[in-house]
A and B are shown apart, each in its own frame.
Chain A
Amino acid sequence: EAGVTQSPTHLIKTRGQQATLRCSPISGHTSVYWYQQALGLGLQFLLWYDEGEERNRGNFPPRFSGRQFPNYSSELNVNALELEDSALYLCASRYNRVGYGYTFGSGTRLTVV
């Protein structure tokens, strides 16, 4: 079974540009979660998608947005990039039953210069 895949692995952008990060969940998982992990900080919840709908978002500005496609893959967009957006962005999916945790991808390392 393929795991959660994220692309690209690394992304370098300049301040003010836009970044697009992609995530493919495990087959059969309908929920996708996005987290930001800045250096030295914990995982900060960004967005949760389920069945194509945004279910909740964390305490991030509106320039962080995303969507979920009919095949349950997801995209995270970050507009007007700022230096402090540099972080590891992690996507996770889960099986809709109690007793199962998240399966995370390996992340996209975004560097804003």
Chain B
Amino acid sequence: SQKIEQNSEALNIQEGKTATLTCNYTNYSPAYLQWYRQDPGRGPVFLLLIRENEKEKRKERLKVTFDTTLKQSLFHITASQPADSATYLCALDTSGAGSYQLTFGKGTKLSVIP
């Protein structure tokens, strides 16, 4: 069956360190992968999109990699801050290229400790 797995439900990290979150998937061939941030009781907020032919994408302190052979994406936050504490979701296009219908992982709750 098709699955999207985010490596851990919760991740605690010291302020200033780099947080690395993992998203693995099986039985999909997504054209692209997206990462979102969700704060409690709020809707997710789009952060980054990476296409299947891109290895890496950066935006300020965020970096995403996408390895279609390993079927894995890594999401990095460098110089992490307490304000980065939130749940981070990865999402895949799962209805065929161009459909933009996303399937989400369950998320990793990141806590940045001062």
A107 at the interface (CB under 8 A from B): yes
Q: How far is the CA of A88 from the CA of B42 in the complex (A)?
A: 9
A-B residue pair count with CB separations less than 8 angstroms: 55
Cβ of B44 and Cβ of A43 under 8 Å apart? Answer: yes
Contact for B101 among A41, A56, A88, CB less than 8 A: A56
| Nearest chain B residue, comparing its CB with the CB of A33 | B101
Cβ of B104 and Cβ of A42 under 8 Å apart? Answer: yes
| Nearest chain A residue, comparing its CB with the CB of B98 | A98
Q: How far is the CA of A31 from the CA of B102 in the complex (A)?
A: 12
Q: How far is the CA of A41 from the CA of B87 in the complex (A)?
A: 12
Q: How far is the CA of A101 from the CA of B107 in the complex (A)?
A: 17
B residues contacting the other copy or chain, number (CB 8 A): 23
A106 at the interface (CB under 8 A from B): yes
Given A42-B89, A101-B34, A106 and B42 contact (CB-CB distance below 8 Å): yes
Mostly, the A contact residues are strand
B72 at the interface (CB under 8 A from A): no
Cβ of B101 and Cβ of A105 under 8 Å apart? Answer: no
Cβ of A102 and Cβ of B106 under 8 Å apart? Answer: no
Given A104-B44, A106-B43, A42 and B49 contact (CB-CB distance below 8 Å): no
17 residue pairs of the A-B complex, CB under 8 angstroms, read: A33-B101, A35-B104, A45-B103, A56-B101, A94-B100, A98-B32, A98-B51, A99-B49, A101-B34, A101-B36, A101-B47, A101-B49, A102-B46, A104-B44, A105-B43, A107-B42, A107-B43
